[in-house]
Structure 1
């Protein structure tokens, strides 16, 4: 990432000056809202102040990240939709209080630093000073901003522990649900047919053991038993396919996704840029995620075309497998509205993966599935290995 130019840094300083005035107003609004929390008016003020503070903080966070050449994620905890629960969550989020401290810095000393950077450019005699000092000054200002606005190491570790705890619990719940599904599928399908098969073979055995038995009836029972056996084999294959599809084991993620594309009633374009095969659990999670996405497209999107892109992004030591599913349908997809998309998110979270959905009304819809995966996986698929 190239360093921003001196003029761009000065533009950031101008933005700091303007937003410093907004920061001062937000400090007043937040303090007054906190004092008036004993009455309902304080809550209304905070409903305005907190989101506005986070928007201003986001802008400074992006500028500081650009100045320092860093990738700084948004550090806030999720906010529930219920008003009272949202208020409690915001109050318990350490970043809310750090934002308040940052507002004080931004409208006082930070504002003075930005003013000096701008004044150095406005006077001809101070141009040499501006040329030399603008970069280290803005870097210093950015470091201070991120001291407030970025998560500390302790907070990152606490958030990591919380995420691991949640994903572990979700993985256990998902595994229990899968076991219950398998038990139900086996009980309602193959087990019931095997019982019927046993009864048919028992009746046929009785008919054959009786010298005066009806051989035609015994033959029909054996024929029915054979047909039931074929049905049971098909149902067992379907159950196994639900656990780990054979096409995924044989052809890998790319081949399995291409097979899903062929089963769709509309054109599906698959683009693959993978150096090899990810680990089997990652393949399975991404394959099931793509299958759910395509099922939702077929049911709800009213699309005419779908594109699926599979890529390995990032460096070799800390790369990610990214799958992007895009359709030109009606949009409006809500990942929280159905169990299928929630299931994808939970499954990917077990591997520290993420799911992002962009689906404005009118479309298009883009679903991005990402799972961390280094490049140490095999470079060739088993089916392509030499015999």
Structure 2
């Protein structure tokens, strides 16, 4: 199993190095265009995300700069984004070319071993730079030997070379402590204002629901009971009239209770108190119109405010999947690492989700940011869509 993981790391490192070579060449060719800050920022963000994924950094540390850019403006980060362009143009090409040569010569070894006979003598691939292949004995000796030596080189060198590039990337693009603090203050100031607006709107909605619905029904019940009381004092023998009034009052009471439960459920879903977060999410995924797989790790006790945010966010995300994504399957994964709760919602739909176009994603982001959490939405055109949320939940 260790060997399999090691070769998986070699594969990831090789892909990372080859993509870095390609993006380094693109950076050289498109340098005048990428020097525009508006274009340099997403280019730098893309490399920061790649580096973070390779090094196994949490999503929070990768998505924080992007959220800060949106809410706090460019600031000093623009200088780092522009600095990354020449740095990556140099190290991306320098560190990617050896990987390309290694992979290319492995392919050459395979061709030499199996297809040497299909080439004219003067056009045959030559292993070990310039060793001629004269027959099967030479091909079956030099070809596999070249493949084995280069695979051994890749096994030893690809992972550390890829990690070195990723560390350089994060070192150039990382923010100072003062900048991180300034960005965090800007984010919290913005989200605090959003939360206050949302809180006021929610209070007005609850007041309107109670006034127009529950209160109106309770007034009607009180009036029916008053009429029944008066009828009872006037003519106790009119049982049919009294029965109708009491039946109407009873039905009105049940309807008022149903409406009241509906209002309460929008504040804090009763299912969370009854079944906990795991049970509530099980119910949400079971009701989803798209087959949804739920995976919940050992999350221990989660604060009530975090439970409510996760519940509403997952419910809204799955609603979006049903309404907009045209997906055939979805998945929800909840896990906890130390003091952070991670929630990942994925679907195999058409992608293109954007919180700037509504679709409920803005509400999800607002709920999560209000608790000092982080949200990352990865939804390229054509799919798939991945929404990652991380919330602090104590240690």
SS at match of 2:36: helix
Q: Distance in 1 between matches of 2:327 and 2:26?
A: 47
Q: What's the TM-score, normalizing by structure 1?
A: 0.65
Q: Distance in 2 between matches of 1:332 and 1:291?
A: 19
Identify which of structures 1 and 2 has the higher relative contact order when contacts are C-alpha pairs closer than 8 Å and 6+ apart.
Answer: 2
**What is the CA RMSD across the aligned residues, in angstroms?**
4.5
Q: Distance in 1 between matches of 2:81 and 2:42?
A: 11
Match of 1:357 among 373, 377, 386: 377
**In the alignment, which residue of structure 2 is the partner of 1:196?**
220
Deviation, 1:337, is: 1.8
Q: Which runs of structure 2 are paired with 1:3-42 in the superposition (5 Å)?
A: 26=31, 29=32
**In the alignment, which residue of structure 1 is the partner of 2:207?**
183
**In the alignment, which residue of structure 2 is the partner of 1:158?**
182
1:103/1:251 CA distance change after superposition, 3 Å: closer
The more displaced of 341-350 and 140-149 is: 140-149
Q: Which runs of structure 2 are paired with 1:266-305 in the superposition (5 Å)?
A: 266-305=290-329
Deviation, 1:100, is: 5.1
Match of 2:282 among 244, 248, 258: 258
**In the alignment, which residue of structure 1 is the partner of 2:159?**
none
SS at match of 1:78: helix
Q: Runs of 5+ in structure 2 lacking a partner?
A: 1-5, 99-162
**In the alignment, which residue of structure 1 is the partner of 2:342?**
321
More helix by share: 2
8 Å CA contact 1:333, 1:359 repeated in 2: yes
8 Å CA contact 2:377, 2:388 repeated in 1: yes
Q: Distance in 2 between matches of 1:220 and 1:258?
A: 42
**In the alignment, which residue of structure 2 is the partner of 1:234?**
258
Q: Runs of 5+ in structure 1 lacking a partner?
A: 30-44, 81-87, 119-138, 377-387
Q: Distance in 1 between matches of 2:173 and 2:236?
A: 91
1:215/1:152 CA distance change after superposition, 3 Å: same
Q: Distance in 2 between matches of 1:291 and 1:328?
A: 17
Q: What's the TM-score, normalizing by structure 2?
A: 0.64
Please give the per-residue CA displacement for 1:74-126, whole angstroms capped at 9, x wherever unaligned. Answer: 7465369xxxxxxx95xx6222245556778899xx99xx89xx9xxxxxxxx
Deviation, 1:246, is: 1.5
Deviation, 1:361, is: 3.8
Task: Tell me the number of residue pairs that the alignment of Structure 1 and Structure 2 aligns.
Answer: 319
